[in-house]
Amino acid sequence: MNDDRFMEQAPDYALGLLEAEELEAFERHLAAGCAQCEQELASMDAVGDALAYSAPALAPPTALCDRVLAAIATDLEHERAGADALAAEAAAVPAGQPLYRGQPTATPTYEPSPAEWPPRVPVVAVRSIPWWVRVGPPLAFAATLATVLVGAWAYRLDRQLTLVRGDLERVQSENQALARILDVVQSDRLRVVALGGLEGAPQAHGRVLWSPEKKQAVLYVFELPRPPAGKEYQLWVIDGQTPRSEGVFAVGADGRATHVLPEPPAAAGASAFAITIEPAGGMRQPTGAILLLGSEGAVIDG
Amino acid sequence: MDLGFGPRAAGRPSSPRPSEDRLQPNSTRQLAAETHALDRDLMNRVRARDPEALRALYDRHASLVHGLGLRVLRDATEAEDLVQDVFLHLWRRAEMFDGERGVFTGWLVSLARNRAIDRLRARRTRERKGDEFEAEQAAPPTAGPSDPDATTYANELRGAVVRALGTLPDQQRAALELAYFGGLSHSEIAERLDAPLGTVKTRVRQGMLRLRELLGEFVDAGLASGTEDGRR
């Protein structure tokens, strides 16, 4: 084993630059327990992470924080309400992997502008009245009171709106996923690729329903164990030699998963699909063992 | 079937590298330790479904993720979507973070960068054209105003990284930036920089090694979680 070569490759590995055989060899070497290379890689990972800090930091708009908090508030409500069917379905979809990827962004364009509330009219209007000296103070008081009330009312409305918008986004993304699944199922020529469990998950099985014509595909997996902490399942499509990521996905408590492929292969040529277990968030190239694999496609004509 | 892809660096070095020859090891390590410990506590609270803890992590790190997203994606809407993605993932899959295995910011940055590059690649595929990512070759990165919301440690690290990158030869820096922010392969970088493949490989490696040298104390701090409990 030539350690020098692997030591030299640690920076490339940290940046995700190793490909195919080199990557495989490097992984094998690490798996064999080379402490020196592991240490080298750990420090190169830290250098890679540090590079992120060279991008100028910029606080995102405040509305974004509200959106995130509204979404987690909705999550909490759902969690507290118990695992109803909707929540179970949502959990089967990879969190943070927007289903509308490849579609125009679903970010709502309407943002309530708190600056417009409370309305400016009353106080100014009162002051423009000529006999303001006598009537002004009580009117101004009433106007101020009204302003405060309107402000509080607007605040409550805004909060409710944020919650509703969070719900709406969830429903929209779920709807889009369902529409894409329906699109596949209703396709004229449907390609079905059966996936079988390999050594790591022999009981697991699944299928990819794929419509090359509509460029839509959906993965169903059954009897797949929940991944260990810090790991996620990742789907790969293999066109020729190179595996390409089709995103990470979550598995429900019942061992089932549904995953809409973000970038389904367009060509109707023979493709294989593979599922590996990877560090959370997914990897650019597969690093874990293949748990499910399928390449024999059956074409169903409508 | 195992194609031989083992888990990525499953174990980490159990002891930090010697740092007695480094400048101010104590202050930076101390600051890093406090920062990483606080992040880890916040993540524990997120795991226990405490929204305030998520809010705190957001306040501490959203501008880092947003800045990274903007640099990779060059699109305000996509960068905001990325921030939302990352923090919702953090909330929904908090158990994915293992505080014993590494520092929170390392995990966060890898997650954000992977997702950003996924988005960039999806966009490239969608648009069927070469990417529009350009390394800022001509000008070394300049330190923007330090971010008042970010942690002190993050601001120190930011300054150090910008200074370190500034000392690299332009071509080395450009290669690193294309790899890290552009998600390009060696050969794509070679094409972009109009340089031989071997030269590009050397530039990337030398650049990374030089950065490690220049960032020594920060690299050590990122390695050992800034605490003595290591990552076993």
Q: What digits encode the pLDDT tens for the residues B45-94?
A: 999 999 999 999 999 999 999 999 999 999 999 999 999 999 999 998 88
Q: Is A107 on the interface with B (CB under 8 A)?
A: yes
User: Closest-CA residue in chain B for A35?
Assistant: B13
Please judge whether A72 and B223 are an interchain contact, meaning their C-beta atoms are less than 8 angstroms apart: no
Q: What is the pLDDT of residues B4-52, one digit of tens each?
A: 333 333 333 334 444 444 444 467 788 888 889 999 999 999 999 999 9
| Subunit contact A11:B49, Cβ cutoff 8 A | no
Among A41, A61, A290, the residue with its CB nearest the CB of B9 is A41
* A11 vs B127, residue with greater confidence: A11
Comparing CB atoms, the residue among A8, A68, A288 nearest residue B5 is A288
A68 phi, psi to nearest 5 deg: -65, -45
Place of tokens 């797949």: A224
**What residues of A are in contact with residue B11 (Cβ under 8 Å)?**
38
CA nearest B68: which of B77, B60, B79?
Answer: B79
For every one of its 302 residues, what pLDDT tens digit does chain A have, with 9 covering 90 and above?
557 889 999 999 999 999 888 888 998 898 888 889 988 998 999 999 999 999 999 999 999 999 999 999 988 888 777 655 544 555 555 554 443 333 333 333 334 344 433 333 333 333 444 555 566 667 777 778 887 778 777 777 777 777 777 777 778 777 877 887 887 777 777 788 888 888 888 889 998 888 877 778 889 999 898 888 778 899 988 876 678 888 888 888 788 888 888 877 766 555 688 999 888 888 888 888 888 888 766 666 54
3-state helix, strand, coil in chain B (%, to 5): 65, 0, 35
- Residue B117 banded pLDDT, cuts 50, 70, 90: very high
Residue B62's closest CA among B120, B118, B108, B115? B108
Q: What is the pTM of this model?
A: 0.55
Query: Does ipTM top 0.90?
Result: no
A195, A207, A194, A214: which is closest to A268 by C-alpha? Answer: A214
- How many Å apart are CA A259 and CA A173, to the nearest integer? 13
Task: Measure the CA–CA gap between B37 and B39, rounded to whole angstroms.
Answer: 5
A39 part of contact set with chain B, CB < 8 Å: yes
